[in-house]
Amino acid sequence: MTFAILSALPEEQSGLVAHLQHPEQVARAGRTFTRGMLHGQPVVLALSGIGKVAAATTATALVEHFGAAAIVFTGVAGGVGEGVQVGDVVVAQDYLQHDMDASPLFARWELPGYARARLACDAHLSAHLLEAAGACVSSARGHFDLNYPAARVHHGLVVSGDRFVSAARESDRLRQDLRAAGHEVLAVEMEGAAVAQVCLDYGVPFAAVRTISDRADDAAHVDFPLFVQTVASRYAEHMVLAFLQKLSNL
């Protein structure tokens, strides 16, 4: 059973590549995929690039060509929920496309053809990710020194759209509009909801873990690249390795 680990940017999973045994690179759909073994588990590491279409193409290739039996996304996101701070970790419970709007034909955010706005992540994989994220955050406090002593792990709704949210007004609006419709959003990014949809279409379990790189506010364009360059890969490395280790011990 091949596990796929998907990220948008190389920095979001670069720490993992060094741990791969028997790595083999395969070119497909204009991307480079790396197959190998991690903790005795066959895995394929993939980089989608940024945005929902790029993510959907990559997820489709993972299922169709690489036979991925599950996809786990690891990367960064902007914190939108109150109390979701830079350095925190969000494990997605479900996903919504915040730029989907086929109203008045369908309710705002509803996915035409799916009769709902939110797509759930796999509960079993998400429970393991939550454990791995919790262990990572506690050890970060202790010794791998990521400078976020108050980092917390959250579990809830993550939203995706083809927009880098970089203004406090926009982020507040997003949170308030979604809240008014009963959706309490924790974080925003640009790929996960597309991967969730592809995985639903193929019946492949999907889960996602996102480290908060910025607050999707007026400082996001500064905070995001700094976090991605300095911190993101170490979080991904620790969390994904702990996650795969838990699965291999089952």
Can you give the binding site for ligand ADE, defined by CB under 6 A? 76-78, 164-166, 188-190, 213-214, 216, 220, 224
Helix then strand count (H, E) for the chain reads 7, 10
The sign of the torsion formed by the CA atoms of 96, 97, 99, 103 equals negative
Least separation in angstroms between residue 162's CB and ligand ADE is 9
Q: What type of residue sits at position 54?
A: A
Q: Which residues face 75 on adjacent strands? A: 210
Least separation in angstroms between residue 104's CB and ligand ADE is 27
For residue 10, cis peptide bond before it (omega within 30 degrees of 0) = no
Least separation in angstroms between residue 164's CB and ligand ADE is 4
Nearer to ligand ADE, 61 or 232 (CB): 232
Q: Which residue is nearest to ligand ADE (CB)?
A: 78
Least separation in angstroms between residue 80's CB and ligand ADE is 8
Nearer to ligand ADE, 110 or 189 (CB): 189
- Residue pair 151/87 in contact (Cβ under 8 Å)? The answer is yes
Nearer to ligand ADE, 46 or 68 (CB): 46
Nearer to ligand ADE, 166 or 197 (CB): 166
Q: Which residues face 91 on adjacent strands? A: 155, 209
Cα–Cα distance measured from residue 27 to residue 197, given in angstroms and rounded to the nearest whole number:
24
Query: Active site includes 12?
Result: yes
Q: What angle do CA 126, 129, 133 make, to 5 degrees?
A: 140
Least separation in angstroms between residue 230's CB and ligand ADE is 14
How would you class 68 by CB atoms within 10 Å of its CB: exposed for 0-12, middle for 13-18, buried for 19 or more?
buried
Query: Active site includes 217?
Result: no
Cα–Cα distance measured from residue 51 to residue 54, given in angstroms and rounded to the nearest whole number:
6
Nearer to ligand ADE, 63 or 213 (CB): 213
- C-alpha torsion angle, residues 155, 239, 133, 243 (rounded to 10): 80
**Catalytic residue from among 214, 217, 223, 237:** 214
User: Among all residues, which ones are annotated catalytic?
Assistant: 12, 214
